[in-house]
Amino acid sequence: MLELEGRVALVAGAGSVGPGWSNGRATAVLLARRGAAVYALDRDAASLEETRAIVAAEGGRCETRVADMTSATQVESAVAVCRELFGRIDVLVNNVGGSAPGDPIQMSEQVWDAQMEHNLKTAFLGCKYVLPVMLAQGGGNIVNLSSVAALRMGRDRVHVAYSASKAGIIALTKSVALAHARNGIRCNVVIPGLMHTPLVEHRLARTVAGGDAAALIAQRDAMVPMGHMGDAWDVANCVVFLASDEAKYITAAEIVVDGGLTAAGM
C-alpha cells in the first residue's frame, strides 16, 4: 500500500523553521520511506541538510538544493538539475508559504505583493517548470498545500493576503488538474488546519502570543473539535496518499486535514 518505489519526488519547502517535524520535512521523509527518491528544496541550507540527513540515516536517497521558490530562474534551474540527476519527476509537492497579519487598510502594498509571491507564485512556478517534464514522460502527480485560512475567516487575526493567496492555491490546483487530466497528470490540494509544528513555538508564539507558547498551544487545541491540533505527519500522510497509485482516480480534489475545524464553523 502507498508504495512509491522507483518514483522521484520534488519537495519544495522541505526544511523547517525550527527543530522537529514541519509539514515539508515530514512529507520528504515519508515519501522516502515509501521508496521515492527525494529532491528537496528550501531557502535554509542548514535546515535542508537536517532533512537530508534523516532520510540518509534511514537508508533513503535525498538530494538537496538551496532555492528561492519565488525566483523563476532558481526554480527553472532546480528542476533542470533534478531531471539531470534522476531522469524524471513523478511527484511535485508545493509546500512554501507563510502568513502576515493585516486587513487592506493596515497592510502595505509591499507586504501584499510579498505574500502573493511567497504563497501563490511559488506554487505557480513549481507547476510551470515541472509540468513540461511530466508531460514529456507521460504523467505525474502534483500536490499543493493550502490552508483552512482559505475557507474560514477569523475576526481576531485577519490576514487578508494569506487567505487570498491560499484560496488562490485551491483555484490553481483545480485549473491545473483540468488542464492536464487527459495527460496522465493529477493535481490535488491538501488543506491543513491548526497544526502543531515547529512554526508554533518558533514563530507564532512570538508574533501572536507574546512569547507564551503553552498558552497558544492550549488555545489552538481548544478550537479544534477533536480537542487537539494535528501534526506534520497528518499532512504528510495525506500528501503521500494523493501521490500514490491508490489515489489514481482523484484529481482536482480538496482534502481538508483539520480535525473538524472548518465543519464546526469556528
Q: Is 249 a catalytic residue?
A: no
User: Given phi > 0 = left and psi -120 to 50 = alpha, else beta, which region is 213?
Assistant: alpha
Q: What is the pLDDT of residue 153?
A: 79
Q: What is the pLDDT of residue 187?
A: 99
CA angle 32, 34, 38 (to 5 degrees): 25
Neighbours of 247 (CB within 10 A): 19
Per-residue pLDDT 10s for the chain (266 aa) are 789 999 999 999 999 998 999 999 999 999 999 999 999 999 999 999 999 999 999 999 999 999 999 999 999 999 999 999 999 999 999 999 999 999 999 999 999 999 999 999 999 999 999 999 999 999 999 999 999 999 987 777 799 999 999 999 999 999 999 999 999 999 999 999 999 998 888 777 566 657 778 888 999 999 999 999 999 999 999 999 999 999 999 999 999 999 999 999 75
Q: Which CATH architecture has domain 8-193+232-255?
A: 3-Layer(aba) Sandwich (3.40)
Q: What is the pLDDT of residue 172?
A: 98
Burial of residue 186 (CB within 10 Å: 0-12, 13-18, 19+) is: buried
Which regions of the chain carry the CATH code 3.40.50.720? 8-193+232-255
CA distance 54 to 197: 17
One-letter identity of residue 76: E
H or E stretch covering 10: strand 8-12
Q: What single string gives the DSSP state of each residue in 184-230? A: TEEEEEEEE-SB-SHHIIIIIHHHHSTT-HHHHHHHHHHHSTTSS-B
Backbone phi, then psi, for 224, in 5-degree steps? -95, 130
CA atoms within 13 A on the CB side of 87: 2
Burial of residue 61 (CB within 10 Å: 0-12, 13-18, 19+) is: middle
Instruction: Identify the sign of the CA torsion 141, 90, 242, 139.
Output: positive
Q: What is the pLDDT of residue 154?
A: 73
Q: What is the pLDDT of residue 90?
A: 98
Could you tell me which residues come within 8 angstroms of residue 212 by beta carbon, excluding any fewer than 6 positions away?
A: 205
pTM, 2 dp: 0.96
3-state secondary structure of 136: helix
- Which of 240, 257, 255, 243 minimizes the C-alpha distance to 33? 240
DSSP secondary structure code for residue 257 in this structure: E
Cell numbers linked to 64? 538537496
Q: Which of 39, 129, 162, 249 is catalytic?
A: 162
Cα distances (Å, whole numbers) of residue 60 to 40, 56, 145, 243: 13, 5, 24, 18
Could you tell me which residues come within 8 angstroms of residue 215 by beta carbon, excluding any fewer than 6 positions away?
A: 209
Cβ contact 257:190 at 8 Å: yes
